[in-house]
Amino acid sequence: MKHLFFELIESLKFAIKSLKNNLLRTLLSLLGVTIGIFSIVAIYSAIDALNETVMSSMNKLGQNTLYITRFSFMGNTSVPRWKRKNFPYATMNEYKFLQKNLTRDEVKAVTFRIFMPATKLTVPGGESISGTELIADGAEFPNIQELDFEAGRFFNKSEEEHASPVVVLGADVKQALFGNQKALGKTIRLYGKKLKVIGILKKEGEGFGPSNDGRVFISSNFARTIVAPSKSFTAIIIAPQPDTDVKKLIDKITVLLRQKRKVKPGEINNFFINNINTVKDQVEKLTQVLRLGGGFLALFSLLIGAFGIANIMFVSVKERTNQIGIQKALGAKNSFILWQFLFEAMFLSMIGGVIGIALVWIGTKILARITTSFSIHLSLENILLGLFISSVIGIIAGLWPAWKAAKLDPVEAIRTGL
């Protein structure tokens, strides 16, 4: 074992010496591996960042949150489009019916949402903004989606039931209307009606899907006093309890809603129950496909790098044939020669891999300075993956030249060198 260790150390020294003596050739030969490792690590890091952003945004919507709407979120349905277009919107009566028939052991929150037309907001005697995303929701909405408040609160059940003219502003809306001034308790005008600001949401920043920064929340009952729900897209949102069997809950909701809508036996459901977790599963599958596709594309760059290293190693064996013959004549074993060239190929490939990873790291830092909407982090997993792939490429590329060098006859090698 000790002898083998010293043999490996000596082989390593010869490999490093050879790389130093042919520095320009070394740099040119590792260029292909550098590009390949840069490609695969950059692609995987970008995919991981995208997946993290999407999952983070979806996790805010809650675990297994159900959206009852007239269309399918995934679009993968056998129901013809002309039938789906005739499906009715969810109604306030259906929301109250489900709220009454679903127990707190099954669900922790049920709310009715109205997606209102974009509108103009005005501060009396002050600023105004147009095209604001207006959402009408129930008081239980914060129990479904996590909301962080800069100041104030969400409207309560009493305010919802009495259609109180209160409003919660996203961070960007508040900044546009009030700047750095205090907004809590102030009045804004919406659809000709005055509303009191009772809450300001914290800045979320950009992510997957719409952010709450540009949204305004009012109660669904107040919304019905200014815009007919039939003119707006509606949804019933249900958050199951953590220990609820979601499949059984969906089956129960289906039966209740078919009963409420008087859907006859044998007829298809005229609604969709969308599970956020199903969307998350589809995103994870898409991520796997992207990783596979990205890896496949980067493989071509790595193959070019591997051929480059193999070519250089064959040249190196040819140039050092005389040296190999002398080493073998002095008693060097075949394994010593083999490891000498194999180490050289591995080091060449790994240096290229390290440079590629370093370029990705530099790229992430530059991207972080340019934009805050999408950040890529170089994970330890991707670093180790890049190093592993580069070392494997080095072994594969250097194995055949190293084996040929180890099998050279010492007499013929010395004669060829002369």
> How do 193-201 and 166-169 pair as beta strands?
parallel
d(CA 318, CA 307): 17
Residue 56: partners with Cβ closer than 8 Å, 6 or more residues away: 207, 208
- Mean pLDDT over residues 317-334, rounded? 70
User: Considering only CA atoms, which of 42, 46, 68, 23 is closest in space to residue 249?
Assistant: 68
Of 274, 230, 272, 276, the closest CA to residue 116 belongs to 230
Residue bearing the bigger pLDDT, 255 or 300 = 255
**pLDDT at residue 74, as a whole number:** 64
Give the per-residue pLDDT at 256: 93
Distance CA(67)–CA(80), nearest Å, equals 20
**202-228 average pLDDT score:** 80
- Secondary structure of 50-111 as H, E, C letters: HHHHHHHHHHCCCCCCEEEECCCCCCCCCCCHHHHCCCCCCCHHHHHHHHHHCCCCCEEEEE
List the one residue out of 243, 240, 172 whose CA is nearest residue 210: 172
pLDDT in tens, 115-125: 888 788 888 87
The pLDDT tens digits for 87-115 are 888 888 999 999 899 988 889 889 999 88
| pLDDT mean over 323-329 | 70
Reply yes or no on whether the pLDDT at 418 is more than 60.
Answer: no
Structure tokens at 93: 């009566």
Rg over alpha carbons for the chain, rounded to the nearest Å, is 33
Q: What is the distance between the alpha carbons of residues 71 and 105, in angstroms, rounded to a whole number?
A: 28
Residue 217: band (very low, low, confident or very high) from pLDDT cuts 50, 70, 90: very high
Predicted pLDDT at 153: 93
Mean per-residue pLDDT, 282-307: 77
Cβ atoms of 325 and 417 within 8 Å: the answer is yes
Single-letter code of the amino acid located at 100: K
Cα 348 from Cα 391, distance rounded (Å) = 9
CB 295 within 8 A of CB 320: no
3-state secondary structure of 400: helix
Question: What pLDDT shows up at residue 255?
Answer: 92
- Tell which wins on pLDDT, 264 or 59: 264
Q: Is the pLDDT of residue 159 over 50?
A: yes
pLDDT band at 4 (very low <50, low <70, confident <90, very high): very low
Write the CB contacts of 165 (distance below 8 Å, at least 6 apart in sequence): 193, 194, 195, 196, 222
The fraction of the chain above a pLDDT of 70, given in percent, is 80
Up-side HSE of residue 264: CA atoms within 13 Å toward CB? Answer: 2
Please tell me whether residue 387 adopts helix, strand or coil conformation: helix
Nearest 10 degrees: Cα torsion 252, 258, 264, 265: -20
Q: How far apart are CA 201 and CA 137, in angstroms?
A: 15
pLDDT value at 2 more than 60: no
- The number of helices, as runs of H, and strands, as runs of E, in the chain is 14, 11
pTM for the model? 0.67
Indicate the helix (H) or strand (E) that contains 190.
strand 187-190
The predicted pLDDT at position 72 comes to 81
Where b means 16+ CB within 10 Å and e means fewer, 205-231 reads eebbeebbbbbbbbbbbbbbebbebee
Where residue 59 falls among pLDDT bands split at 50, 70, 90? low
pLDDT of residue 180: 86
Write out pLDDT tens, residues 115-153.
888 788 888 877 888 888 888 998 999 888 888 899 999
In Å, how far from its chain's centre is CA 386? 20
Q: What is the pLDDT of residues 6-55, one digit of tens each?
A: 545 655 555 556 556 666 666 666 777 788 888 888 888 888 887 777 77
**Mean confidence (pLDDT) of the chain:** 80
What token pair was written down for 83? 């039938």
The string of pLDDT tens digits covering residues 39-51 is 888 888 888 887 7
